[in-house]
Amino acid sequence: MRIKVFSFDEQISGGDFDLAVNGFLPKPVRYKRELSGESNVLKELAELSKNVGAAIVCPFDTDNYGIMKKSAGVFEGGKLLGISDMNVAYADSPYMPSASGKIYSVGGDKFALAIEDDMYSYEILKAYAICGADAVIFLKKNHGEMDGTVIRAFCYSLGLSAMFISPKTHFAFNSKGQNVEPDGDGVYDLISVAEYNLEIRKTKFTK
């Protein structure tokens, strides 16, 4: 999976990448305004994915009639593929947690999103690995001192590639916990080097 990091201050155009990701939007997405047509943030992001010719991941706060969450939308070909919410919220957080995780498929690769405090939950990331994710994209508003160390450990123990993105910094690791450097165009190539294959078997029991 080839990932390019961009900001809304630049004009992004199509290139040799499967996924484009940016930092948090400065204003929340208010579902009431989106549904009434007063705002068109989700529609504009969907259109951008069509114009760029690649999938886009965009994190933002969401306001669902007064219930605030940290979320991220995934867009491809002019369509909204889904919105993932932060699943972990600590007691002093003003944001509500969600109770679901999604795995998206782009360019033949599968990835999941870990938003803010989700990055500290081993069980959530383990579930993504078990369900077939090749990579996890970590999205935070601020870069913590230990974030790189924590993500590197998850990559090594779970066999996942990872990309960390905040408004001021971004970095990536492969599934052995090794640094991945961007190429000359600023694109990270998250090639899976895990030494195992996930096998899923279904067994039917009869009386």
Q: pLDDT value at position 56?
A: 92
- CB atoms < 10 A from the CB of 8, how many? 13
Rounded Cα–Cα distance for residues 12 and 69 (Å): 27
Q: Is the model's pLDDT at 198 over the cut of 60?
A: no
Average model confidence (pLDDT) for the chain? Answer: 86
Contacts of 184 (CB under 8 A, 6+ apart): none
pTM greater than the 0.95 cutoff: no
Query: What are the pLDDT digits (tens) for 103-143?
Result: 999 878 899 999 998 988 999 999 999 888 899 999 998 88
Helical spans, DSSP H, in 20-168: 31-36, 41-52, 122-130, 147-158
Largest interatomic CA distance in the chain: 63
From residue 54, how far is each of 48, 153, 186 by CA, in Å? 9, 30, 15
**Beta bridge partner(s), residue 21:** 5, 57
Contacts of 44 (CB under 8 A, 6+ apart): none
Helical spans, DSSP H, in 131-192: 147-158
Do 79 and 109 form a contact (C-beta atoms < 8 A)? no
Angle formed by the axes of helices 147-158 and 122-130, nearest 10° = 40
Query: What are the pLDDT digits (tens) for 62-76?
Result: 999 889 999 999 999
Q: Is the model's pLDDT at 183 over the cut of 70?
A: yes
DSSP type of residue 131: T
Query: What are the pLDDT digits (tens) for 15-60?
Result: 788 888 888 888 899 999 999 999 999 999 999 889 888 899 999 9
- CB atoms < 10 A from the CB of 10, how many? 8
Mean pLDDT of 165-192: 87
Taking the chain, what is the end-to-end CA distance rounded to the nearest angstrom?
45
* Fold type of domain 2-189: Nitrilase/N-carbamoyl-D-aminoacid amidohydrolase (3.60.110)
Could you tell me the pLDDT band of residue 204, with boundaries at 50, 70 and 90? confident
